[in-house]
Structure 1
Amino acid sequence: MRTILVVGGGYAGFYTAWGLEKRLRRGEARVIVVDPRPYMTYQPFLPEVVAGSVEARHAAVSLRRHLRTTELVNGSVTKIDHEHRTVVVRPAVGGEFPIPYDVLVVTAGAVTRKLAIPGVAEHAIGMKHVEEAVAIRDRLLTAFDQAAVLPVSERRRLLSFTFVGGGFSGVEGFGELMSLAHSLVRKYPALSAGELEFHLVEARDRILPEVTGEPGRWVVRHLRERGGTVHLNAQLRSAVDGHVVLSTGEEWDSELIVWTAGNGANPMVHNHTDLPIDARGQVTVRADLRIGTAEAPVPDAWAAGDDAAVPDLAINQPGVATVPNAQHAVRQGRLLAKNIVAVLRGREPQPYVHHSLGTVATLGLGRGIFQWHRIVIKGFPAWVMHRGYHVLAVPTWERKVRVAAVWATALFFGRDIVSLASVQNPRRAFETGGDTTAVSPGERV
């Protein structure tokens, strides 16, 4: 049998492998997926994980549960040598080892793009993975517990929260966390909503670049009316010891700094492969998702998702690639599986063409925005559309039912407001023997 090796189990990788399982005949080819995580993260749910509206595990789709005939390798690909049809894998435990293949699929996904800003590496947290979303939520809940027993003069830092980056991840996370905080403050008689400080920092003059001007300005006004501070045309200069300094001269102490200022191509893809790479570090891809150019395709090599510069045939502008979002990655993965099977059977692959279904974002419980061309829907109807779309889009019925059940339960009982920050140090209680004086304040629940 031929071996099809998929580098990365994110959106594009998961849907490629899932599609191959459905289309390959018995004995026609074997599929291997290499990824350091045993699950695919459904990233649109991360803001709701932050807010406690979705259980963390429900935003993670188990690879082993749903890829039943695919061989899963838990590790990171550190090098691709396509000339010799081999990748090098670094597992979590043990030494590196090679895996030979016949057909390569690169869906390694993007990584959080960090800038060399003092203090960011030490104090900021991203919002790309489930564990990061859980940590953000726990930090806010723990900060409330700590602030409630302090004098008013000592609370400001603990009740100040900062998001850097005004794209979808930043705006949705900012809106959801602010929604959680304002609902939570009613549970703390010692605290008041006026003590909360939420800052959203964006280097450009607008947020949500995927929506047009006026809807984007409405979102800014909406967030400000709810008590958030939106800093436009402002760059983060320093975050040393949690002290935020902006290019505008504004500064404040922040208990939490969430970094969502964009994604970058996976360093392994543009530094450790012999595949053609463009100026942005993405794999050069044809319209049919084969790696290479229209004149010179690379044999037996395919790519999709955030690391692939896929030509956008839906717009009549040569040289423009599809934007790196979930809507494209899912559909590219589905087509990729069809095209690989077609080529294995001697047929021609089909080009990728997808017209946008519009953009929809949650801004907190009961609040959202949707835009499709000139149609703009705001507020509660857009929020319902957001939930409806994503509960249908999350893969597998098992996940759809679990998420819908949590939402239905929350209608009657509200969100769970217990911080589990102590799980980051699970042996602390055992080591201290119950001596709470040996537990640092940030680890108390």
Structure 2
Amino acid sequence: MKTSIENRNVKSPIVVLLVVLMGAFLNQSNIIFGVNFSFSDFFAIALLLYLIFKNKIDIPIFPTIFFIILSIVVLFTSFFYVPITLHVYAQPVQIISDYIKLIAIFFFFVLGFNLSKLGMLDILVKYFAFFGVLIGSIGVFFYIFNISLFANLLFYADIRYRGLMNDPNYFSILQILALVYFSRVKNINFIFKYVSILILISAVLISGSKTGIIVVSCYSILRLIEYIFITRKNLRTVFLTVILLLIFIGMWSFVINGIQNLLNLLVNDIPALSRVQTLFIDFNGAISEGGSGRETAWNTALELVKLSPFIGIGLANYILLGIQFFGVGTLAHNTYLQLIVEWGIPLASIFFIYVFFVIVRAVFSKKEDTIIKILRDILIVLLLGSVAISLNNARIFWLVLGGLIFYLNKRK
């Protein structure tokens, strides 16, 4: 962390307050007049303007070049290629609106890069996680005491807790991101740390998100692998742990039955768990049924890719083309597919390869900064969640990506 007078001036109380509030309100997002709105946007704009005014902002070169190329491609595709070749005409206002969203996520990326440069991204992540625990605590409290106050605001369909988000699946992913922080941070009270983790896992359960359950399970497995083969280097410990894992795998059917029986007991008190229950009864059905419809959405996305594989279909055309050609008016429910459809295979592939390269660099980085591990794990969780949710506009994804790139490129 830098300690120069110059950087201490940037870390004025007002800037710290803006960072804290921005981090907290990354847990809030609602659709207002068709726009995905979060109070964190106001604080992000204020921070950007302040840094520009103080001449403290850096623009990373290669990501900016990629963004310019991407802008040219998607605008050309949206305004010219799709209307001429596929005879679908999106409203220019809608194309411009979607392009503003693209600019916004690039600004979040730049802001994450610069907050890391100033040693302030760790503050943002800290208060994002703390506020996430607070929101999770409210949901758990409401469920335990069967409180219906603000049910329309906090719950989806009256049973699935969604916090201050418009989607319980997105909410569950944010809770797992907060869990990443508390599972990694060291200088925190032991009891508070594990109570927070318990609350966050409980909040994922009461969200009724199958995606959330799968993601938290996958992340737990990754952490277990890290613990066995990296953290614990004692050969005897590794051997005993592997033996226990083999025993666990051998008893897998008994474990599944035990989980099913437990869910049967809990589902009456926590109705949202009925959706989670299907994961252990009919996994394929859980993905495609119960309102998810992901199989249809994914198949439609693959068909849309075939319409324009190299330069994509651009902005504001996804639903229009889906309805006209395939009779399906939903988005991909998959970040990878959605970006491939909109950007085309070459640009989307370059982007995802770059993101995975950043994560691999972070995994093998010799830097011992805890913040690098936290940012890396947040990206991993978001990429896992991206299989079943469209997170391409998730503000925290771009903030963390920009921040992690700075930390990895920073010289000691």
Same fold per TM (> 0.5)? no
Q: Greater helix percent: which structure?
A: 2
With structure 1 as the length reference, what TM-score do the two structures score?
A: 0.28
**Greater relative CO, 1 or 2 (CA 8 Å, sep 6+):** 2
With structure 2 as the length reference, what TM-score do the two structures score?
A: 0.29
